[in-house]
Structure 1
Amino acid sequence: MNDNLLKESQVKENRRNFLKGGLVLGGLALLQPEKAISSPKTQGINEDFKILTGPYLQTNFGNSISILWITSKDSSSWVEYGESAELLDKKAYGKSGLGLKPTDRLNCVKLEHLKPGRTYYYKILSKEIKDFQPYKLTYGETVSSGIESFLNTDTSKEEVSFVMLNDIHDRPKSIAHLLDLDKGNPRDFVFFNGDIFDHQTDEQQIIKNMLQPCVDYFAKKTPFLYVRGNHETRGKFARDFPAYFDQVGNTSFTLGPVRFVILDTGEDKEDAHPVYAGIVDFDQYRIEQAAWLENEINRKEFKNAAFRVVLMHIPPRYSGDAHGAVHCTELFEPIMNRGKVDLVLSGHTHQYKVNPPVKGLNNYPIIIGGGPKEGFRTLTKIKANKKQIQVSMLDDSGKEVASHVCLKK
């Protein structure tokens, strides 16, 4: 127990120093006046109609994939796709609500009932809505992407491979830099484990500091998954932020031999902290996720998986004594122990570390990625088959700084 207390003290001191170095301004920004910006609904009103960013792919697997993109103005949008680049013979639209197709700038079209292990070709199209009267809609020009492709992953595959990035903190160049460390290797997905931003300011920040770097590097062909960190809960745009993604909260899915469980750990500050001015309820949010997790560990998909991997920004231990971190330990650790979780992947502390299982505490290894500054950034590579999970963590020079193997029990 003395070693564990020492680790907790070191983590607490490291995060305190980091916050003193400037990130505390992200929280205090909530109290400061900000420059006026155009609303997303009006910002492109005098501009040419165009695709601002995209397409970018997200998925929970299960023979479906979501294709997302953002246009400068409201539009009628769709995806044309097929199994040949010469024959895009299918068309899909965004989800209708009460019989109404979407006519927005934020486009998300989900392709369903795809064939496992097949390559699909697609392009996105948007037709500008110039005027929307009760009985007359006037269209403008149509814009489209080039033809792109993706492999619909076979969920019964023997081996799974992905990489994890975490705690980028509004440093968009880090995305390509870190992914270059594993360039050329096949990945089923890229996972962003929170705090990709310092706080949420506006749409341009989301596009410039995450979406466009992902589109430029991989996201047209390879899907990413994303869970919020505590910094994504901060700022005036935090409530708009989820609309730019198909999934940023808790979810679960099976891919190959692994049951993946994603938890949204919320904020590490207490709900009553002055910077939130009484407008958050993360304690209840985590309690609801704990109930969901309890149901998840009793599902046959979870129990029958060769391995069970949990991905969460704030680790369930070894992240100091801030309220949110302690609450995560109290709520999630006992459930994950009962569920016989094999591995937890986290971020948040800005110090990479492999924490081995400790009987009676975390009965599973907790692997924590690095921080945002040069020399502390990490790329975590994970490969799993029915016999083992191999984890290799690289620093931003490409040197392996941590590794771990989980064997089938």
Structure 2
Amino acid sequence: MKKQTAEHGRRAFLKSSLAFGAVSMVAPVTSVAAVSEIEDEFKVIAGPCLQTSFNNAISVLWVTNKNAASWVEYGLSPNNLDKKAYGKSEFGLKPIGTINVVQLNNLQPGANYYYRVVSKEIKEFQPYKLTYGTVLNADVQSFINTDTNKAEVNFVMLNDIHDRPQSIPTLLDLDKGTKHDFVFFNGDIFDYQTNEPQIIDHFLQPCTNAFAKNIPFVYVRGNHETRGKYCRELPQYFASVGYDAFTLGPVRFVILDTGEDKEDTHPVYAGIVDFDEYRREQAALLKKEIESRAFKKAKFRVVMMHIPPRFSGEAHGPLHCTEVFEPLLNRGKVDLVLSGHTHRYKIHQPGEGPNQYPLVIGGGPKEGARTLTKVRITPNELTLKLIKDDGTEVGSYSIKK
């Protein structure tokens, strides 16, 4: 594929613009003061939603419309939330603000936990006097702390949503009824980063409504999440957005952030990015990972990365991914690589090229091209199905150990 053709294909769909703040009134307003009072009401505007890298810990995220002191109350009974957790303290100071990420640690494997988020509005902050306002106690929710020693792992992958939030529940409904350990978002959930309302309306709240109050998600950036004036603020809404590695059941998972698909010197970046070095840093982490005991002893090894390490055109980013990651994927005898980016769903078998690993690329983002990738892994077998948005199976892969 020629670079120009690949670039044109990926951008042909990006003609719809983001629209925020254009709200039509469905009923007449009789009082400006009444509207102001509603707008000023202290409230949760996103979440709560769960994120995790497992290992008996889970993070709870929620966003308020005003600065607050916040925490999570949780326990093993809905009537006895006897534990309390706060966001990470920095230099002895507990966090305050509107974005809250609180990690619950030392959870019991396999236990059913109940939790609620609590936020106390900060009305005034003077040097020697802090005045609180409304206290919000959200509804009690629940989650199962996944036992990392469990025998079977089930998860689904979504990718390349591109600011089409309705695709999240639509695709998840294709596997309705299956109990997932997590939902994986493999990049390009947005076209580019504009502001907080976009992140809330196009991702956090659709996830909360669909599943994330009770089932965690795992997330990695795509190349489109590296773009836009708000891209540097994106990480504060996530427990993790970059490189990660964790064990769940018979699987060692490795997540790579593949960065941008353009060269660092491209004019659109005006000299303020360094993705080549970023990818080399992750390659060093991957090299260390494949030599680790956790990686070597795992029955299955799964790598998740937005830009495929092969079969994704001749742009600089994909070629650099091939250069820095593929030798390590081959050396580590990876059992499965999951990607997106190309908008064309495809299962590439080991040996189609120099790749000695199977590569599954999800589709998207247009209706008729979207896919849900379903993965089930037991100690003896990994099975994968690609399901198109009309419910038809368009590909499958399995390996036995």
TM-score (norm 1): 0.91
Give, in angstroms, the shift of residue 371 of structure 1: 1.3
Contact 1:392 1:403 in 2 (8 A): yes
- Counterpart selection for 2:329 from 336, 339, 342: 336
Alignment partner of 1:225 out of 218, 236, 243:
218
1:289 matched to 2:282? The reply is yes
1:355/1:367 contact within 8 Å kept: yes
Residue equivalent to 1:153: 146
Mapping for residues 207-286 of structure 1, pairs under 5 Å = 207-286=200-279
Q: 1:393 aligns with which of 362, 383, 386?
A: 386
Which secondary structure state, in structure 1, belongs to the residue aligned with residue 167 of structure 2?
helix
Looking at structure 1, the residues matched to 190 and 231 of structure 2 have their Cα atoms a distance apart, in angstroms, of 11
TM-score normalised to the size of structure 2? 0.93
Superposed displacement of residue 345, structure 1: 0.3
Cα distance in 2 for partners of 1:209, 1:359 equals 37
Structure 2 residue 364 is matched with structure 1 residue 382: no
Report whether the alignment pairs 1:191 with 2:184: yes
Residue 170 (structure 1) aligned with residue 168 (structure 2): no
Alpha-carbon separation, structure 1, partners of 2:281 and 2:14: 29
Contact 1:12/1:320 (8 A) holds in 2: no
Q: Deviations over 1:372-407 (max 9, x none)?
A: 000000000000011111000100001000100022
Q: Distance in 2 between matches of 1:290 and 1:223?
A: 27
SS at match of 2:245: strand
Equivalence for 1:311: 304
What is the RMSD of the two structures over their aligned residues, measured on CA atoms? Answer: 2.0
- After superposition, the Cα gap between the structure-2 partners of 1:240 and 1:267, relative to the gap in structure 1 and judged at 3 Å, is same
Q: Residues of 2 paired with 1:13 and 1:303: CA distance?
A: 40
Q: Secondary structure at the match of 2:232?
A: coil
One-letter identity of the residue aligned with 2:9: N
1:354 is aligned to 2:347: yes
Q: Which amino acid aligns with 1:71?
A: T
Secondary structure of the structure 2 residue equivalent to 1:178: helix
Aligned-partner Cα distance in 2 for 1:188–1:246: 17
Supply the AA of the counterpart residue of 1:110: Q
1:99 corresponds to which of 92, 98, 118: 92
1:134 counterpart (115, 127, 142): 127
Residue 64, structure 1, aligned to residue 77, structure 2: no
1:15–1:350: 8 Å Cα contact kept in structure 2?
no
Question: Aligned with 1:106: secondary structure?
Answer: strand
Select which of 136, 142, 150 maps to 1:143: 136
Aligned equivalent of 1:17: 9
1:116 aligns with 2:109: yes
Listed as ranges, the gaps of 5+ residues in structure 2 are 23-36
C-alpha distance in 1 between matches for 2:102 and 2:13? 39
Measured against aligned partners, the alpha-carbon deviations of 1:115-138 in whole angstroms (never above 9, x if no partner) come to: 000000000000000111111100
Question: Contact 1:51–1:71 at 8 Å: present in 2 too?
Answer: yes
